[in-house]
Every structure is written in C-alpha cells, then in structure tokens.
C-alpha cells in the first residue's frame, strides 16, 4: 500500500505570496495527480505528472520519481486559490490511486 | 463543468437500506472510477470499470457493487447501509484505462444514512 504524506496540512497566507505544497509517497509509481477541491465539494484535476515539471497559469507542479516526491507551487496567490489540494500517486496498477489527506489552503486578501 | 454527471445529488436513507448511485462519463471516455470521501478516511478509490469490464479494485466493501453498462454509464449499488457509509461518492472518467490518464470528476452524490 502506498503511504502518502502531504505537508503542510493547513496553510494560511496573504494574497500574492508564493505557495508550496509537498507530497511524498512510499511506493514507486508511474504517475501522480494533483487535485483541487473547493468548499462546495467539487474536485478538479489540476495536473497529471509522470516526470519533470508542468505549468498551467500560476500553477506549477514538479515530480522527482526517484525521490518519490512531488511539489505543487502557486505563484501570486489569490483568494480564489483557497481550496483543498490533494495529491494522488498511482499509475494504472490494480490498486488505483491512493490519496493524501489534503492541504487546506486559505489565501487572505 | 467536467462533462461527468452524477445523480442524485443528495440522498438520505436509513440503515439497512439499499441505494443506487448513477454516473454518466464524459462523451468518449471509456473508464469510470468510483471514489468515496468521508471525514475520517478521506478520499478512497473503490473500483474502476473500463469499457464494461472491471479493471481495478480498491477498498470496496462486499456490500457494495458496481457495473458499467453498454452505453458506458455506471451504477454503484450500496446495500445493508450503515451509518459509516455516510460520505460523498464521486465518480470520475478518463479516456483510457491507465492511471496515467487525466481523470474528470463528477459533482458527487452526498449520501446520508440515518
């Protein structure tokens, strides 16, 4: 079973700050997903990474497969970024995705 | 809007009952995944279907079952409901069967067991 650790669990920051959320996992994988869940409950897939780095707008995700670690960065954070961010390592095995407990992010204006 | 639909949005029922949750994937997607999100366990993968066949199985209880129909919609059946089954149930869909495919999540069904 893949043990997934996210840090921090909770993060409150001021608008404009650079945000980093970390995810470590215990079992080698072929891909990792970053998800965003808003207070209303809906889940949006932000990234699927198998190597290196991806960028979408103000969001950047990186992964180091050898070190079993991924990070999600938010540049120029905005109150609308307030949400729970969840990492989910996986890769098509019989066990599906495993999920971190999530990082609760609040961006204050 | 992800293109994935789930019905019903909310469901309130009693212990011991049976319910069916329905999911329609995005047009063109062949895989459907079911997930459970509870306060104490977080998000958990339950089961995946690909083009009508079971593809992967996670922490799905024996009281729960699922299927994917020829039109690719899927149903999750929960029986002998217990208080602990109260949770948000999400389905997601993807084009292929691999965990490396982007998954698109539905809005969820909130199940309350009283």
Q: How far apart (Å, rounded) are the C-alpha atoms in residues B106 and B5?
A: 5
Residue of chain B whose Cα is closest to the Cα of A38: B107
Q: Residue A15 and residue A75: Cα distance in Å, rounded?
A: 10
Average the pLDDT over A9-32 and give the result: 92
Please report residues of B whose CB lies closer than 8 A to that of A95: 45, 56, 58
A30 pLDDT more than 80: no
User: Binning pLDDT at 50, 70 and 90, where does residue A28 land?
Assistant: confident
The length of chain B in residues reads 114
Place of tokens 């608008």: A15
Q: pLDDT above 70 covers what percent of chain B?
A: 99
**Inter-chain residue contact A44 with B105, CB threshold 8 Å:** yes
pLDDT in tens, B48-101: 999 999 998 888 999 999 999 999 999 999 999 999 999 999 999 999 877 778
Residue A17: pLDDT over 90: yes
Is A3 near chain B, with CB under 8 Å? no
Query: For residue range A42-96, what is the model confidence (pLDDT) as tens digits?
Result: 899 999 998 899 999 999 999 998 899 999 999 999 999 999 999 998 854 555 7
Q: Tell me the average pLDDT across A35-47.
A: 90
Which SS3 state, helix, strand or coil, does residue B79 take? coil
Separation of alpha carbons B26 and B4, rounded Å: 5
């Amino acid at each position: 079973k893949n043990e997934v650790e996210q840090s921090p669990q909770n993060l409150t920051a001021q608008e404009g700050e650079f945000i980093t959320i970390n995810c470590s996992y215990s079992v080698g994988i072929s891909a990792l997903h970053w998800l965003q869940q808003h207070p209303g409950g809906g889940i949006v897939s932000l990234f699927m990474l198998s190597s290196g780095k991806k960028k979408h707008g103000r969001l950047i995700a990186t992964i180091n497969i050898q070190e079993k670690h991924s990070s999600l960065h938010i540049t120029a954070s905005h109150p609308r970024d307030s949400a729970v961010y969840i990492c989910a390592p996986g890769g098509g095995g019989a066990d599906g995705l495993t999920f971190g407990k999530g990082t609760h992010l609040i961006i204050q204006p | 809007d992800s293109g994935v639909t789930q019905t019903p949005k909310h469901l309130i029922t009693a212990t011991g009952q049976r319910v069916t949750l329905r999911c329609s994937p995005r047009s063109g997607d062949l895989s459907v995944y079911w997930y459970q999100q509870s306060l104490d366990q977080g998000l958990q993968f339950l089961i995946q279907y690909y083009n009508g066949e079971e593809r992967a199985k996670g922490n799905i209880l024996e009281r729960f079952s699922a299927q994917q129909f020829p039109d690719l919609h899927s149903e999750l059946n929960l029986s002998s409901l217990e208080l602990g089954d109260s949770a948000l149930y999400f389905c997601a869909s993807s084009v292929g069967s691999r965990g490396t495919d982007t998954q698109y999540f539905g809005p969820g069904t909130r199940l309350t067991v009283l």
